[in-house]
Amino acid sequence: MRPTVRPTGFIPPLCTPLTPDGAVDTRSLHRLVEHVLDGGASALFALGTCGEAVFLTDEQRRTVVRTAVEAAGGRVPVLAGVIDTTTPRVLERAREAAGLGADVLVATAPFYTDTHPAETADHFRRVRAETGLPLLAYDIPSRVHTKLPPAVLLELAEDRTLVGLKDSSGDLDTLRHLLVALRRRGLDRRFSVLTGSELTADAALLIGADGVVAGLGNVDPAAYTRLHTHATAGRWPEAVTEQNRLTTLQTLTRAADPATMSGTAAAVGAYKAALELLGVIDCRATATPLRPLPQESVEEVRRRLEEGGLLPG
Amino acid sequence: MRPTVRPTGFIPPLCTPLTPDGAVDTRSLHRLVEHVLDGGASALFALGTCGEAVFLTDEQRRTVVRTAVEAAGGRVPVLAGVIDTTTPRVLERAREAAGLGADVLVATAPFYTDTHPAETADHFRRVRAETGLPLLAYDIPSRVHTKLPPAVLLELAEDRTLVGLKDSSGDLDTLRHLLVALRRRGLDRRFSVLTGSELTADAALLIGADGVVAGLGNVDPAAYTRLHTHATAGRWPEAVTEQNRLTTLQTLTRAADPATMSGTAAAVGAYKAALELLGVIDCRATATPLRPLPQESVEEVRRRLEEGGLLPG
Amino acid sequence: MRPTVRPTGFIPPLCTPLTPDGAVDTRSLHRLVEHVLDGGASALFALGTCGEAVFLTDEQRRTVVRTAVEAAGGRVPVLAGVIDTTTPRVLERAREAAGLGADVLVATAPFYTDTHPAETADHFRRVRAETGLPLLAYDIPSRVHTKLPPAVLLELAEDRTLVGLKDSSGDLDTLRHLLVALRRRGLDRRFSVLTGSELTADAALLIGADGVVAGLGNVDPAAYTRLHTHATAGRWPEAVTEQNRLTTLQTLTRAADPATMSGTAAAVGAYKAALELLGVIDCRATATPLRPLPQESVEEVRRRLEEGGLLPG
Amino acid sequence: MRPTVRPTGFIPPLCTPLTPDGAVDTRSLHRLVEHVLDGGASALFALGTCGEAVFLTDEQRRTVVRTAVEAAGGRVPVLAGVIDTTTPRVLERAREAAGLGADVLVATAPFYTDTHPAETADHFRRVRAETGLPLLAYDIPSRVHTKLPPAVLLELAEDRTLVGLKDSSGDLDTLRHLLVALRRRGLDRRFSVLTGSELTADAALLIGADGVVAGLGNVDPAAYTRLHTHATAGRWPEAVTEQNRLTTLQTLTRAADPATMSGTAAAVGAYKAALELLGVIDCRATATPLRPLPQESVEEVRRRLEEGGLLPG
């Protein structure tokens, strides 16, 4: 096994730029990596939910990991999502990502199927054993429809199956119990808690989270880096001010009429429209079958970028 | 496009027999196909939920479809599940299944992601266009976490995207509205409604369903065939009596303690244990990370088979 | 304790007519009772969900029970809902209804609070003990947000706490298990299962339900009586035809734009508009804060009544 | 209308002490009020979820409000929950609480019924108009099964229907959007946001909440007061340390085996057992049908109090 990478800091869940006909746009992805590294990202997270991982074929996923690893060029570690329904399929994704040079793997509990805590624990243990790479558990009940039980996470922290947690559950009360329990067992130094809540990163850092994975950080990575730096330095009012500003900026994800497309289409579409407007990626296309963002919504995204000081008004 | 196959009758969602080390046991699968055809199955459904499709790698899925098509030998059509998260991935599964000789494809709405009705409709249209094979929509909210909107189903029945619906929603009220609407539009003759509710097949057939896809039918296919025959002949009391008997038999899915494994592990494990006890398959192993059925539960399954007259007491 | 009344047949969950300023309109309620008795109702169910029970003060609820008992005049039994959050409050409602002459009480599990099966069982036992009246359990997870566990229902059928179940869960698979279990224990003759699914009464009766409680039966009681009579006589195709016709009629509950009011406002508002159009009640007002049905929706309800042959076209 | 009371600070949601036979124990309630005022409470909240409001008859609720008002004796304002299913019933509760001297009312959205945002807004407007008392909206989706839409809250803050929000949703992301929007509209000074999350009060205060309503504050009011004071003074590390300590203490709510009683029975039972052990109330009885805390769980509660320094070890 490689020496463990324990992720902390601001880690953008990279959007996956696509060409108008749905291919991975590797040139744009290279530019996106430079954009977030310029903004202070401490690592890259490829193939997360925001990266439309579940809309990409296995071949496309390999292209994304290969490109992210190339683009990172060893400057920062690359975390790779290995999102698939169950263990046998996740093991394939894990081998592929490891073979392409990913530094850390990120896996959810099984989905589509129901799962028992003992089965979920076994799942993570097998993924960890398959490649020897550090493994983050990805808790995202809105997609997976189960919540990772804190007792399972503690067990898998204790036995070193997991190097950390990406918590996209929005359930800060349960996270609090976990953070306190990790500390009581002396595990908080080797187990990394990353919040996936882009609007309450300040709060999560206050209570003990180690890092932030925020989709909006594709658009404004420097702000999340500032937020994290303020928090680390104990400058909480400044962290809050930065987060409040980002909360306003994040309303760009509502630029589209929710009666006309899914929330994913609206949010990822808006991030990509922003990146196109900022000149980072060539095309704002999202994957099939997501509805495209209409032109008036793109204009709305532009106004939010102007308001947020990211584009000249 | 091939001439449309409109599925009706009893169609077992085939279990996928595995070897103790998790490989697809094609010999056992051949025997299972003979078992259900002896029992009167009018078609085969490979790679459904009961077939542990989401636990199989793409290579294993191909093996299952290839084997089912070989075993069917043209005697009955083969329906193949193409269960994956979103359109680009389902299109791959669809091409593979079509290339291996499947007669009908069965697809769910996108999952893991949220989806808008217009996106869901687009999804089915693309899958249908990809191969030209007849396409069944698979409505299974307990897994996919959205329900297929009746308005979308009607639209896709009208424009011939879909040849039918496998309804595993358990929502008979909504199905009633759909069935009445199909009839009012004259679509009921070309759109096939299959119920996936193994305990209320009689009720679904009464209100207008055309066929039954019941996991328990792996174990006792002849009973579901009798039930369907009674229903078709209007012998409703006899259909009910058969369904009541099957309801008692189905309690074998509760042979395991629900505190120790997932519902899928208990149910699929029990079907496979029954098939092993009946001498149809060699091994009751289920896929990773499902917990195995303990020996005392296997004995409980044996008792239910004896009670049900499927094994000598 | 009085001799047990075991409810069967068609039992309308009476709408509660209101005056324009929100008082209970007892004259209209008297006429509604005549309307459903003319239509063949075998009993009356006052203060159910369709009767806006949770929108009425305790004083108004007493008025409703008193009026229903008077209007029934001993011709049919009166079932009274005692819907409130928990045991101490339901006991008050139960004493009041019993004192006013109700023949049977209908209670849900505790709501607003979470509840354990043992607590739910204790709840029903205390309600039963309080008045000695026959007690029906009302299973309506869409409102109460828990489902009555079949094991609890069986236990309470066995020990005579419950005389039956009103099943508004829409979960026919679970109901099937219950019906088969009741029969195996010889309890089906003294425990009455009433379906609350107004679109699948035929299916529920086929599999063993004893009666039908259908909100739409306020509007067209004769049709539900015919449906029940056909079912009892084993004329299943005729029962299905009647139910299909009622399924079309039931689309009047969608006369209002779902973007503008709650489903309850639309459905109860439509039933009341239909009753006003049929001359049964004086005013279609619903309780606060339900939005009123707009005039164009009332016209739509009129068209559905004409189509359904209940009003001259 | 009275001059508006805008609640801030630490406000305990008072437990309702009961006698062994289920009557309100007013003497113990008086002592509980002294306990929390000694601990620095800035107001009292009677008849909340933790106060078992939905388990109390209207007469018992009046006793609770009357006692709380007497015990407060004008030293701090008394907030009174008016929890009932819909507007007509909540109006009755509101008149009663106002008549007994409550200073602020706290109401949820309608429950048991479904509700449209326009209906929910109308509901709050009518409650506000009925008594003229300041009104807090109580957002508790785990009980009410809808979430108060931020747009409705903003509208009702703008038109002065609401003086604030008690947020027990656990959804800090949505709260963040609301807090930022209130500030942008200049409403944050007159609209008070109270968090009901007893484990993340520090986080909620950091992002802009004005006060804390924490059930655990019945047991250790001084700690929540310290937490709030630290937060107000910008001593965030100290606030976090206090909250971490309270997080450990809060595990007393898990002293009972979750397989044997509801979460409410376990949590409220544990708070009451703690108060009995601390000598504040006479009896730890909870309302019907909640299961009582067994003796071994009471001993576990005692150990947690000792660990927490609230009882000598």
One-letter amino acid of C249: L
- The answer, yes or no, to whether residue B3 has pLDDT greater than 60, is no
What is the pLDDT at residue B4? 57
Q: Residue A235 — pLDDT band, cuts 50, 70, 90? A: very high
Which chains lie within 8 Å of chain C at 3 or more CB pairs, if any?
B, D
Question: Is the per-residue pLDDT at D1 higher than 50?
Answer: no
Residues composing chain C: 313
CB pairs under 8 A between A and B: 128
- Give the range of the structural domain holding residue A139, as residue numbers without chain letter: 9-234
Please list every residue in chain A whose beta carbon sits closer than 8 Å to the beta carbon of residue D240. 206-208
**Contact between chains at D88 and C120 (C-beta distance less than 8 A):** no
Q: For A283-303, write each residue's pLDDT tens digit.
A: 999 999 999 999 999 999 999
For residue A170, give the chain D residue with the closest CA.
Answer: D171
pLDDT at position B1:
41
Query: Which pLDDT value is given to residue D3?
Result: 47
The values of phi and psi at residue B256, to 5°, are: -95, 155
| Model confidence, pTM | 0.97
Q: In this prediction, what percent of chain D has a pLDDT beyond 70?
A: 98
Q: How far apart, in whole angstroms, are the C-alpha atoms of residue C263 and residue C284?
A: 16
CB D79 within 8 A of CB D45: yes
Of D200, D236, D240, the CB nearest to A173: D200
In a domain, A35, yes or no: yes
On average, the pLDDT of chain A sits at 97
List pLDDT tens digits, range C34-93: 999 999 999 999 999 999 999 999 999 999 999 999 999 999 999 999 999 999 999 999
Is D301 annotated as a binding-site member?
no
Q: Is the pLDDT of residue B308 over 70?
A: yes
Stretch A171-175: mean pLDDT? 97
The answer to whether residues A252 and A233 touch, using CB atoms and an 8 Å cutoff, is no
Residues of A in Cβ contact (< 8 Å) with D207: 200, 202-203, 240, 243
Q: Would you say residue A3 has pLDDT above 70?
A: no
Res B59 pLDDT > 70:
yes
Within a domain: A222: yes
- Give the sign of the dihedral formed by CA B69, CA B74, CA B76, CA B82: positive
Q: For residues B184 and B181, what is the distance between their CA atoms, to the nearest angstrom? A: 5
Whether residue C257 is predicted with pLDDT greater than 70 in this model: the reply is: yes
H-state helical runs in chain D: 26-38, 58-72, 87-99, 117-131, 141-144, 150-158, 172-184, 201-207, 221-232, 236-249, 263-277, 295-307
The contact set of D with C (CB < 8 A) is 22, 49, 54-58, 60, 83, 85-89, 92, 110-116, 118-120, 122-123, 126, 143-145, 260-265, 287-291
- Which residue, among D18, D59, D86, would best test binding to C if mutated, counting the most C CBs under 10 Å from its CB? D86
- C187: in domain: yes
Q: Is the pLDDT of residue C280 over 60?
A: yes
Q: Residue A122: is its pLDDT beyond 50?
A: yes
Q: Using an 8 Å Cβ cutoff, are A104 and A7 in contact?
A: yes
Nearest to A247 among D170, D177, D199 (CB): D177
Residues D174-198 have pLDDT tens digits of: 999 999 999 999 999 999 999 999 9
Share of chain C above pLDDT 90, in %: 98
Tell if the CB–CB gap between A206 and D206 is shorter than 8 Å: yes
The contact set of A with D (CB < 8 A) is 170-173, 176-177, 180, 183-184, 197-200, 202-204, 206-208, 234, 236-237, 240, 243-244, 247-248, 251
Residue owning tokens 């508790």: D140
* CATH number, domain containing residue C21: 3.20.20.70
At residue D2, the pLDDT reads: 47
Contact D176 A199 (CB under 8 A): yes
Q: Are B257 and B219 in contact (CB under 8 A)?
A: no
- Of A260, C51, B185, C144, residue with least CA distance to D143: C144
| DSSP secondary structure code for residue D102 in this structure | -
Cα(D63)–Cα(D57) distance, integer angstroms: 10
Residue B246 above 90 pLDDT? Answer: yes
Is the confidence at residue A176, as pLDDT, over 80? yes
The distance of D294 to chain C (nearest Cα, Å) reads 15
Cβ-based neighbours of D296, under 8 Å, separated by 6 or more? none
Query: What is the rounded average pLDDT of the residues B213-221?
Result: 98
Judging contacts by C-beta atoms under 8 Å, the chain B residues touching residue A128 are none
3-state secondary structure D37-100: HHCCCCCEEECCCCCCHHHCCHHHHHHHHHHHHHHHCCCCCEEEECCCCCHHHHHHHHHHHHHC
Q: Is residue B149 part of a domain?
A: yes
Confidence of residue C4 (pLDDT cuts 50, 70, 90): low
Confidence of residue B50 (pLDDT cuts 50, 70, 90): very high
Residue A5 has pLDDT above 90, yes or no: no
Which of D200, D232, D307 to mutate to probe the A interface, most A CBs <10 Å?
D200
Instruction: Say how many domains are in chain C.
Output: 1
Element (H, E) at B52: none
User: How would DSSP label each residue in B265-294?
Assistant: HHHHHHHHHHHHHTTSSS-----TTSPPPP
Residue C277 in any domain: the answer is: no
From residue A20, give the alpha-carbon distance in Å to each of A17, A287, A292.
Answer: 10, 9, 11
Task: Give the span between the Cα atoms of A187 and A193, in whole angstroms.
Answer: 11
> Is residue D33, in this structure, part of any structural domain at all?
yes
Q: Minimal CA–CA distance to C211: which of C166, C244, C173, C180?
A: C166
Contact B199 C208 (CB under 8 A): no
Task: List all residues 6 or more positions away from A173 whose beta carbon is below 8 Å from its beta carbon.
Answer: D170, D197, D198, D199, D200
Give the count of Cβ contacts less than 8 A between chain C and D: 128
Q: What is the rounded average pLDDT of the residues A272-290?
A: 98
pLDDT (mean) for A165-172: 97
Q: Which residues of D are less than 8 Å from C113 in CB distance?
A: 49, 54-55, 143, 262, 264
Closest alpha carbon to C64 in C84, C85, C78: C78
For C122-169, the pLDDT digits (tens) are 999 999 999 999 999 999 999 999 999 999 999 999 999 999 999 999
DSSP lists the bridge partners of residue B46 as B80
Q: Which of A166, A224, A271, A272 is catalytic?
A: A166
Query: Chain D residues with CB inside 8 Å of C114's CB?
Result: 262-264
A97, pLDDT greater than 90: yes
Express each pLDDT in C204-236 by its tens digit.
Answer: 999 999 999 999 999 999 999 999 999 999 999
| CB contact burial D219-258 (16+ within 10 A = b; e otherwise) | bbbbbbbbbbbbbeeebbebbbebbbbbbebbbbbbbbee
Say yes or no for a CB contact (<8 Å) between B202 and C202.
no
Task: Tell me if D200 and A180 make a contact (CB, 8 A cut-off).
Answer: no
Chain D positions touching C58 (Cβ under 8 A) are 58
Active site residue D138: yes
Nearest to A172 among D172, D177, D251 (CB): D172
Strand-pairing partners, residue B195, are B167, B212
pLDDT score of A4? 57
Token readout for C26 is: 């007892």
Helices first, then strands: H and E counts in chain A: 12, 8
Are A116 and B92 inside 8 Å of each other by CB?
Answer: no
For residue C138, indicate whether it is catalytic. Answer: yes
User: CB–CB of C288 and D126 under 8 A?
Assistant: yes
Assigned domain for B287 exists = no
Q: How confident is the model at residue D4 (pLDDT cuts 50, 70, 90)?
A: low
Q: Could you say which of A176, A184, A199 has the minimum Cβ distance to residue D199? A: A176
Residue A236 has pLDDT above 60, yes or no: yes
Q: What is the mean pLDDT of chain B?
A: 97
- Partner-chain contact B123 A262, CB within 8 Å: no
Mean pLDDT calculated for residue range C253-274: 97
Average pLDDT over residues B21-44: 98
How many Å apart are CA C24 and CA A139, to the nearest integer? 51
* ipTM of model: 0.97
pLDDT tens, position by position, D67-77: 999 999 999 99
Q: At what angle do helices D221-232 and D26-38 cross, to 10 degrees?
A: 30
> Does A123 sit within 8 Å of B54, measured CB to CB?
no
Q: Sheet containing D164-167: which strands, arranged edge to edge?
A: D9-10, D211-212, D192-195, D164-167, D135-139, D104-108, D78-81, D44-46
A203 contacts D207? CB cut-off 8 A: yes
Q: Is residue C1 part of a domain?
A: no
